[in-house]
Amino acid sequence: MTIFEFQKLLTADLNGTKELLQGGCKAFAEDTRTVYNESEQFVSSGGVALVVVTPRLNRVGGNTDNGIPVEGDILIRCIERAPLSSKRGNLRALDAAEIVAHSLDDDTFEFRSIEQAVTSPETITATVTFSCSFLLTK
């Protein structure tokens, strides 16, 4: 599978998580061209955007008939606006990050950390980091 296909599968999995949906969250795959505009618009409307990012993938072996084995970090950035602009009943970024951490920590994804930061005067981002490995194809 390609990195984009991997991100789309992960995005679909997150968008199928009942707690996240009910909490006003929506996942986006970073590799889509419109992800910044779509996620910004969603956050501006009071939701929490979950942006799937694959910043560091390393080869762990040679090419096989089916692809290239890789491992690395997967980041899920949970982004919200300042609490005053959040819709009532929606999750906060840190709450969403904790749900993501519990829902994806399995044989495929190994949970590593959650970090929260104020990324602009109006934006809070909680980033969940997992390590994983999979077969990358062209």
Residue 33 pLDDT: 66
Helix%, strand%, coil% for the chain, nearest 5: 30, 45, 25
CA distances for 83 relative to 101, 102, 117, 124, angstroms? 22, 24, 14, 9
List per-residue pLDDT tens for the chain, 138 residues long. 788 888 888 999 999 999 999 999 999 988 666 777 888 888 888 889 999 988 678 888 787 877 888 898 999 999 998 765 566 778 899 999 999 999 887 777 889 999 999 988 888 999 999 998 888 876
Residue 85 pLDDT: 56
Residue 127 pLDDT: 94
Residue 84 pLDDT: 56
Residue 109 pLDDT: 85
Contacts of residues 85-90 at CB distance under 8 Å and 24 or more positions apart, as own/partner, are: 85/44, 85/46, 85/122, 86/24, 86/46, 86/48, 87/24, 87/45, 87/46, 87/47, 89/23, 89/24, 90/23, 90/24, 90/25, 90/46, 90/47, 90/48
State which residues form the domain around 26.
3-136
In whole angstroms, what is the distance from residue 115 CA to residue 13 CA?
Answer: 22
Any idea what the CATH number is for the domain that residue 58 is in?
3.30.70
Residue 86 pLDDT: 64
The number of distinct structural domains making up the chain is 1
48-59 and 25-29 strand pairing = parallel
Residue 45 pLDDT: 84
